[in-house]
Chains A and B, each alone.
Chain A
Amino acid sequence: MSLELKPKKWPGAIRTVTLGSGSRRPLTVGGGNGLPLHTFEASFPHRPVLALEITDVPPPRWIDTVRQPWNGVLGQPAAAARRAVDEFGADLVMLHLVGTHPDRGNRSPQEAAADVRAVLDSVPVPLIVKGPGAGPKQNDVLARVAEECQGEGLALHSACQEEYKTLAAVAVAYGHVLVAESPIDMNIAKQLNILLADASMDLRRTLMDPLTGGLGYGLEYTYSVMERIRLAALGGDAMLNSPMICLVGEEAWKAKEVKVSGGVHWELATALALIEAGAEVLVLRHPESLARLHRQLDCWFGGDACR
């Protein structure tokens, strides 16, 4: 009795999205036409990419384990970006403008734009820029950054269902990529993409952030919603087939277990599980997690056997 396993074919595929333009070395993600990592039956022209997170001011809530690799450059975005790319080998960088939050320093949009410019001047890779979060400051900061860094193809993080028009407009006007965030909810993710398309946003310039639950803190919800989104996309739903980005480091290092157990393993397990569920852009905090994941991805997509 011989064993015959037919490759599974799908009508849909993931959109390709290119991060970085202008002075950036561009990086394209997406394009796969099968279940995540199913390289044995589907084609994946682009592999998942790994970013490291840096901050504009010393990060207020990072624990020592994750601060340690960044000693001397915390809160210095240009120097931290160089370390992330040149020493640690990050594919791209996420600058979190945490210091623009009203409770965290209330830095101005002008200062934020200067920080982004400094990072662009220090490294050639694409840049994700995360604003201070919900609230009026988010738009002020990201709109200013978008305008001052016209044509650089930044990924602006993020727009949500309640507040997307301003950011969609500036992303279109100044040539950036927009991250559409939904609260672990496939219907809202789809709705937001429809709204963005109506706002004349080209979906080839958007990523979806399904909202990451860290290991032990809701990972299973994110994992399953991503699997469902990916199945819908492969089934042909053009409003759910954007590549997905996960802010892994931020969630994994929040767990209280990382203070007693190895934080790198916590981040690594969260990230690998989410790659299996379909993440194409992962934002990490610890260079060791990045190195270990790179090794696995090299093996998966580079064609060389490895451990």
Chain B
Amino acid sequence: VPLTGLQVFKLLPNTNCRECGYPTCLAFAMKLAAGKESLAKCPYASPEACAALGAASAPPIRGVTIGRGSRAITVGEETVFFRHEKTFVRRPGLFRVLNPAPNRDALLDSWRSLRIERAGEVFQVDGVAIPESPGSPDLAAAAAERGFPVAILAATLDGASATAERIKDHRPLLVPPAGADLGAYASQAARLKIPLVVSGSDLNALAAGAMDATRAGAADILLEPPGADLRGLHHSLSAIRRGALDRIHPGLGHPVFLRVAAGEFEKAVLGITKFASLLAIEDHGGETWLPLWTLRQNIYTDPQKPLQMQPGVYSIGEPNVNSPLLVTTNFSLTYFIVSTELEATGLACHLAVVDAEGLSVLTAWSAGKFAGDRVAKALRTMQATERVSHRTAIIPGYVSVISGELEDALGDGWRVLVGPQEASDLGPFFRDVWQPAQ
């Protein structure tokens, strides 16, 4: 529980020495309580004060890193129940379950090279989850060598230990089977210094199990929530997050691990929206990954920082020099709506996306990010003006006011056509305004 300013003040020497840069200890205490200063600035802070403040400021949910190198993933460290309170910070890892397959090297290579870019984020296979089989040490090594973080889905302690031993330097996640003797697995995880999943038949057993594993020396823990169906699982997931944030029990302050079997798409949706940090997903066929990645992108977007598109000229269909050239901002939602509506018109065109710091059209204009000279400069820089021979740029209806200054700034015989206010009216606009004008 965070301390109040007065509680912090009582831990300080109250000498008002000013060495921290504040006129009084009380002023410094208020900043500390608000999380805006560090106790390190007080040269006279007692060890007791450091301990008390440290415990109070420790994150309610610990961070855990799985894997090594550039694809290593850190999860946890969340601080809120609702994303609008601040933001969710660590995108959950979506691990793909790899069963023994004759073509495993080719499969792993294809997973490694998979990259889908969407609104400034790259979707990829975050890690590989390997169910125990006679070949799993080799399989795990093949995945780890390619840089993938690995989750070992154990069936037996000996089998899992063999795999874990083989790739222990890659920091794999050890996942014991349901109902296993956690003590033995915890000792293995402690010995190999790798993260461990703890499960329990109910929340009490789960929290107690996490405490036991910590005492056994396992430093990094994920919790596998109980729940036979979505309703039970939702209860566990909500209770763990709330319990961790309210610091009801130290055993709950860990990220959450979830297994998703083939066909359990709804469970994956629930996990991504409601607090799961690492999901081991069995293949459903290709069509389930894109919606899950996109859902994660939506839920983990910082509400204060809208998704932005890379500025540039985007082609809708296969445009040529006679196709319309439209201009809009780089707010991803604006781009998506405009590009979707443009596609629906069936007319190929160039869409110039201008950097407006991720603001929508009207907001960008009122903030001075979508003024005529700025837009003109951007169009020249991205060479949008060279894509067409007709020298006509179409601007959103909401910023008709910039048409004059944009024409002046573009010069060279360019003219500006004011488009509709709403993207849904682009079809009639092309029919009634654009085509007659050509």
Contacts and interface: CB of A to CB of B under 8 A. Distances in A.
B294 A216 contact: yes
Contact of A227 (B84, B287, B336): B84
Interface in B83-108: 83-84
Interface string A45-86: 000000000000000010000000000000000000000000
Contacts of A266: 291
B269 A269 contact: yes
A228 interface: yes
Contacts of B252: 3
B204 A272 contact: no
Contacts of A276: 270, 273-274
Given A5-B203, A221-B333, A305-B229, 12 more contacts: A1-B250, A5-B239, A103-B428, A216-B297, A217-B337, A228-B82, A260-B290, A262-B291, A265-B288, A296-B266, A299-B230, A307-B230
Nearest to A133: B424
A9 interface: no
Contacts of A39: 231, 235
A228 B82 CA distance: 9
B295 A219 contact: yes
Contacts of B82: 224, 227-228, 231
Contacts of B333: 213, 217-218, 221
The range of chain B's interface size is: 35 or more
Given A39-B231, A217-B333, A262-B291, A5 B242 contact: yes
B284 to A, nearest CB: 8
B264 A307 contact: yes
B207 interface: yes
A299 B234 CA distance: 12
Given A224-B303, A276-B274, A4 B291 contact: no
Given A39-B231, A213-B333, A265 B294 contact: no
Given A5-B242, A220-B298, A272-B266, A299 B83 contact: no
Nearest to A60: B344
Contacts of A40: 235, 238-239
Interface of A: 1-5, 8, 35, 37-40, 61, 103, 213, 215-221, 223-224, 227-228, 231, 254-257, 260-262, 265-266, 268-269, 272-273, 276, 292, 296, 299-300, 305-307
Contact of A268 (B118, B249, B266): B266
B248 A228 contact: no
A257 B118 CA distance: 11
Nearest to A222: B298
Contacts of B428: 103
A254 B298 contact: no
Nearest to B301: A220
Q: Which 9 A-B pairs have the closest CB atoms?
A: A262-B287, A220-B298, A216-B294, A224-B84, A261-B290, A40-B235, A265-B291, A219-B298, A269-B291
B295 A3 contact: no
A216 B235 CA distance: 27
Given A223-B298, A265-B287, A307-B229, A273 B269 contact: yes
Given A3-B249, A37-B234, A257-B294, A217 B203 contact: no
Contact of B298 (A4, A61, A216, A260): A216
Contacts, number: 131
B248 A5 contact: yes
Given A4-B248, A40-B235, A216-B294, A268 B269 contact: yes
Interface string B280-307: 0000001110111011011101010000
B290 to A, nearest CB: 4
Contacts of B211: 1
B411 to A, nearest CB: 36
Given A228-B84, A261-B287, A268 B265 contact: yes
A3 B207 CA distance: 8
A272 to B, nearest CB: 5
A2 B228 CA distance: 23
B230 A215 contact: no
Given A3-B248, A224-B83, A261-B287, A292 B301 contact: no
A65 to B, nearest CB: 11
A130 to B, nearest CB: 15
Contacts of B339: 256
A119 B333 CA distance: 36
Interface string B417-438: 0000000000110000000000
Nearest to A264: B287
B231 A265 contact: no
Contacts of A4: 248
A256 B343 contact: yes
Interface in B309-350: 333, 336-337, 339-340, 343-344
9 contacts: A3-B203, A3-B248, A61-B344, A213-B333, A216-B119, A216-B336, A223-B299, A272-B266, A272-B270
A4 B287 CA distance: 41
B201 to A, nearest CB: 13
A299 B230 CA distance: 8
Nearest to A292: B266
Q: Which of A38, A103, A224 has most B Cβ within 10 Å?
A: A224
A296 B230 contact: yes
Contacts of A273: 269, 273, 295, 299
Contacts of B231: 37, 39, 299-300
Contacts of A305: 228-229, 232
